[in-house]
Structure formats: structure tokens, C-alpha cells
Amino acid sequence: MDDVIQTFTKTLAPYVSLNFLKDFTQSLYMPRIRGARLQRFEIETAEKPLGNQQIPIYAMEKLPTLPDELTTWLQNQVPWCKDGFYLPEEVKIGQTLVHQTGCFYVQEPSAMGVVEVLQPKPGEWILDLCAAPGGKSTAIGKKLHGSGWLVANEIHPERVTVLAENLERCGVQATVTQSDPSILAAAWPEIFDAILVDAPCSGEGMFRKSAEARQEWNPELPAKCAERQKNILHEAVKLLKPGGRLVYSTCTLNPIENEWMIDWLLKHFPLRLLPINNLPNWSLGLDIPGIHPDIVKHVRRCWPHLLAGEGHFIALLEKVAPSQTTSFNHSIKKSPQREKTKSNPKDSTHLWLDFLNETWQASIPDEWRFPIQQGNVLFSQSPLPKPLVPVKTLRPGLALAHLREGKLIPHQALASGAHPSAFAKSLDLPGQEALAYLRGEAMAISTNQRGYLLLTWLDTVPLGFAKAVPGRLNNLYPKGLRRVLNS
């Protein structure tokens, strides 16, 4: 580790003072900083009722008090993220009820700043272009409040599966794609209101957190990563509509992948830098001769010896003119052409609508009336226009139901992603019974209700589905998700 750190820190020497470099180097030998971000709860905001939302969303309730499991661990708030808290190193919470049900997402504190800068707004179409494992996508989903749409893209097969699992656990509705950015740019030119490029990078900001990052680093790596980042950003600009926002972030600290990358963007594309005002105590950019004068004052850096967080870089840009190579009918966004897929047998649609009529008490979203069938799974439609070229899509929308031997079984993603109050039949379980359900145990619980019902915890946290029969509940929690949890 010493050789890597010494070689790396020498690359920063031209841009910072000797004392700064000394303090920074010492910080790389300190313990990592951990954090957790609340996902199914709100802080300092009014409770959000179901109201007239077209798509009822997962539980985001302000409770009188947070669960004991959360209040015990989450004491110190991250200054730049109201939902973020510092997590003590000794706390092991991955195998707990609150984690399994998506009440929070374990996330490094400086990474929480990225979506705070992006500032997604309800009704917007957002693209997370390099989305795995899903920490930033889940944060975007929460801020959209069930209005608008998220496309979460990840090109690597294993990582895109993890991304989809985390979105489902946290109740976020999204289109999950596995495509090269150039394919997406050809498919949906200039349709997104905001795009996040949390770019693959040399990982210098993760040195004290990740032995793998240290082992993979070499002096040539930043330049190699920069070439890949340029390719990604070139396509990202094509996907962004005029007036849209682009956030570029890395977890590395060299200027090649950061300040120089922003300088390259400003020279080659119709973009302007916007100031970042909501990251208290983050540092300005490196003062590098010859780069655009706005860069040093508008970009932000998290240095691990100055803030409680790992190394990070964030820039916010706005597209000021259309891309010359794109021509897209933007009227599609106002009236999206819904695809009533021919691959979905008519009987499947009838089964699905019969299920909704029996179990659903809210208005039925338009996107749900003609679901898309992939294999034996029914998905909701997305509001996006039909892509101009084929896009490899893992999940076109919210997974609604499985089809098995002519029967329809509600999908776990539907339980996680829809607001509990939208279900006509539900049953709230105390903590120990909730843990037993997540272990996949038989439920000797008698209820007057029959058929499919949603099981919840704390009245607002969805657990999953069960089928009520006389004298018991048939446990429908997916076998692949079943866990023996600590608490």
C-alpha cells in the first residue's frame, strides 16, 4: 500500500501545498467512513398521502418515531444530505429487518452528495448512465416521489443484476437497461431532463476503503479511465435535452479525470458550468493553469482529511443548445405512444386485471393496464417513447406479476414498489413474525381475509405477499430472498 500511495500522492504535488499533501496522505491510513441513507422514511417533511398520484409509490411516511433499529444506529447526520447519517464501523446491519425491507441504503457519505447536486424533481425523466450497484439510483427514485421516470443503466451483466435487486428492495420503479451509452443515445436522443454520469474511474478516493482499488491502480490508469469517460460523456450529451442538467462525478482525485475532464466538456459541447451551493464545507476545484476559469470555483471536491467522507469529485453542467446530430419528435413526451405488446397473450392481461379488481383499491395507473410480458413476468409500461433502435432491457418497468401454469402470482417488486394503502387487503405483522416471514417460514396466522394480501411491518413498510387460506397464510416471499436476519 505504501508504494501505491507514495506514487499516487506525487501526482497531486504540483497542485497542493506540502502541508496539505502531508495531511491528506496521513488520512489514507485512517479507518474508512461509513454511512446509511434513509429510503422509506422522510426527515423534516410532512407525511405524503396517496392523494391523486397516478402511480402509487412505495411507503415514504413520516412516522411519529423511527424504528428503534434506526434510531439506535443513526445519530450523526451527514451535513449535505438530510436523509444521510454516519454509521459506526462496528455496526453490522446488512442482515437486519430494516435493511432487507429497504428502509435504508448503506452508502458512503460523500457519495450521497451526488444526487443532492443533481436535484431530481417529480415529473422529470432521469437517466443514471452508470448506475450499479444502485445507491444513487435509489436516491433518485426517492426524490421523484413516484412522478416522472428513472432509467438505470449498467452495461456489465453481473452488476446490472445487483442494480435491479437493489431497486426492487428499495421499492423504486424504473426501467433497467444493459446497453452501451451509444445505443441509448441512438434510441432516446435529447429526451432526459437530467443525467447522472457517476463515471468508472481510477478509484483513488476509495484507497482506504478498498484494497482492490489500491491493487488495481497504476500511474497510467487515470489516462486510460479518462478516455473511457470521454466516450461516455459524449453520448450523455446527446441524451440530454436542451436546458437539462448533467452531473459528472468520480470517486477519484487526480485532475485528469476531474478538472481536465470538465475543461474538455466545456470546449467540445454546448454546456455551461453551474454553481454548486448545497455541499457545505466541500472544497473548490484544483487551480490548474489554462483550464476554464469557472471550473475552480464551481466544481466541488471531498478530501478525506478535511471532511468525514471518502474522496469524491462532483460537477454540475447545463446543456445550452441542441446537439447537432439529433432530431427527435419531442411531442412524444407529451403524449407517449403506449405499446400494447402483442407478445402479451390476452388471457394474461385478463388475469392481471382480475387480480387488480380483487386486490387494488386505488385508481389503476394507465401504465399498468396493458403490461409488457418478458418470459413469464408481466411488467408495467414506462412513459418513455418507443426507442428508435433496440435497447437491451432487463426490466422495462415495475415487475407486476409472475405467470405460472395458467395462474397469476403477484411479484415481490409490486409489494415493494406500491404504496401499502393502495392494497384492499393487507395485514400488519409485529417484528418477530415479520422476521419469520422473511425466513420463509409457514405462517400459522388466521384471518378473515382470503386470497392474496400484502404483509407489512409498522403499517407502512411492505414485506411481501401471502395467500390467505383457512387457518394459515401461505408464504409467498421469494425463495432467493429468504434470509435468517439478526433483528
Q: pLDDT at position 446, please?
A: 84
- Pick from 67-81, 126-140, 223-237: least confident: 67-81
Whether 216 has a pLDDT exceeding 60, the answer reads: yes
Average pLDDT over residues 398-418: 94
Q: pLDDT at position 328, please?
A: 54
Instruction: For residue 180, say whether it is annotated as part of any ligand binding site.
Output: yes
Whether 63 has a pLDDT exceeding 60, the answer reads: no
Whether 205 has a pLDDT exceeding 90, the answer reads: yes
Q: Is 251 a catalytic residue?
A: yes
Instruction: For residue 131, say whether it is annotated as part of any ligand binding site.
Output: yes
Whether 341 has a pLDDT exceeding 70, the answer reads: no
Instruction: For residue 198, say whether it is annotated as part of any ligand binding site.
Output: yes
Instruction: For residue 134, say whether it is annotated as part of any ligand binding site.
Output: yes
If pLDDT is split at 50, 70 and 90, which confidence band does 458 have? confident
Q: pLDDT at position 65, please?
A: 55
**0.85 surpassed by pTM:** yes
Q: What is the pLDDT of residues 110-133, one digit of tens each?
A: 999 999 999 999 999 999 999 999
The whole-angstrom distance between residue 369's C-alpha and the CA centroid of its chain comes to 26
Q: Which three cell numbers stand for residue 433?
A: 413474525
The per-residue pLDDT of the chain, averaged, comes to 89
What residue has cell string 401499502?
Answer: 420
Phi and psi at residue 91, to the nearest 5°: -80, 125
Q: pLDDT at position 333, please?
A: 44
Instruction: For residue 354, say whether it is annotated as part of any ligand binding site.
Output: no
Listed residue (445, 376, 455, 451) closest to 415, CA to CA? 455
The catalytically annotated residue of 81, 170, 251, 302 is 251
Average pLDDT over residues 22-36: 94
Instruction: Give the C-alpha distances (Å, rounded to integers) separating 112 from 80, 86, 278, 299, 312.
Output: 8, 11, 12, 16, 10
Q: pLDDT at position 218, please?
A: 95
